[in-house]
Amino acid sequence: MYAVINEKLYWYQRFRGKNIIIARNGQPVDDSFVSSGEGIFKKEVDTNSSDISDIYNVHFYVMYKDEAYPEQDTWAIGDGVSSDRPYRIEEGEVCISGFGAVSGNGWTTNGRDESSKIIRLSDCSKYFVEYKYTKKDGVMCSPEQVDKQEVSKEELVRKIVEHRV
């Protein structure tokens, strides 16, 4: 999850009843952050603080048709999908994964009923970003507020890179 605090983006997690933001080297921190080693800094926060405008999770999707999965046209993407070779969103590549041991036509299987394929963003017909807010514009959301929007290919790349904090 992510938190926007004073217009700066941080990783956010709720752990053992505590709300924690996490910063890495290069992100703005002050004396209230505690170093946890290897360039990681943590700070406990109050989600009701007016400094926190947004708390959300974000997911990225593309519309892509593939004969191996004819019933599926929307695929979740991101930096963390495992594949048989490196890929970079900045170079227009993403990795999709599906349930089932599929191989051939660009698909590789991990041997545990999951397969992956690296595709080009230019082969996709649409791009989406979906936010699931627990706090939006300074107001707590219950239930969470979902905002899914179609974006350009360039905006999708920018959003994925932005959320690597």
Q: Mind listing the pLDDT tens digit of every residue in the chain (165 residues)?
A: 999 999 999 999 998 999 999 998 778 888 889 988 888 999 999 999 999 999 999 999 999 999 999 999 999 996 667 777 888 888 999 999 888 888 788 898 877 788 889 999 999 999 999 999 999 999 999 999 999 999 999 999 999 989 886
d(CA 111, CA 99): 11
106 domain residue, yes or no: yes
Q: Which amino acid is at 95?
A: C
DSSP output for 38-67:
TTEEEEE--TT-TTEEEEEEEEEEEE---T
Residue 119 and residue 76 share a domain: yes
Query: What's the total number of domains in the chain?
Result: 2
Residue 117 and residue 85 share a domain: yes
Residue 17 lies in domain = 2-58+130-155
Q: pTM for the full model?
A: 0.87
